[in-house]
Amino acid sequence: MILPLAHVGHYLWILYVLPVLIVVFSIVKTTISEKRAAREEERD
């Protein structure tokens, strides 16, 4: 069986986008949790 991976190189860009996505995801997550913490602090 031969998997059709000869053109997998065309999708190499995904490996370059991943670090950006990880950083953006972390920023969104951190921002949301910080805002939630600030709201709770204000409520208390």
Partner 1 sequence: MIFLPLAHALVTRQDLPIPAWLFAWAASIVLIVSFFALSVAWRTPRFEKERWRPLGAGLSRLLIGAPAQALCGAIGVFLLGVAIYCGLHGTSAPDRNFAVTFLFITCWLGFPLFSVLLGNVFQLFSPWRAIGRAVGGGFSRIAGQRPAHLAYPEALGRWPAAIGLLAFVWLEVVYGASGGVAVGLSPHVSGVAALVYSAYTLVMMVLFGVEEWCERGEVFSVYFGMLSQLSPFGVKDGRLGRRRPMSAATHWATIPGSVAVVIASIASTSFDGAQEGAFKAGIESLFNRFVDAGLGLATSLRLSSTIFMALTFGGVALVYLLGVRGMRTVRGAPSLKTLRIGFAHTLIPIAFAYLVAHYFSLFVFQEQAQFTYLLSDPLGTATTDLFGTASSGVNFNIISANTIWYVQVAALVVGHVAGLTLAHDRALVYWPNYRQATRSQYWMLAVMVAFTCFGLYLLSVTGG
Residue ranges binding partner 1 (CB under 8 A): 1-3, 5-9, 12-13, 15-20, 23-24, 27, 30-31, 34
Radius of gyration of the CA atoms of the chain, in A: 20
Given the complex with partner 1, which of 30 and 36 has the nearer CB atom? 30
* Smallest separation, CB 43 to partner 1 (Å): 17
For residue 36, give Cα distances in angstroms to 2, 15, 27: 51, 32, 14
DSSP 5: -
Given the complex with partner 1, which of 10 and 44 has the nearer CB atom? 10
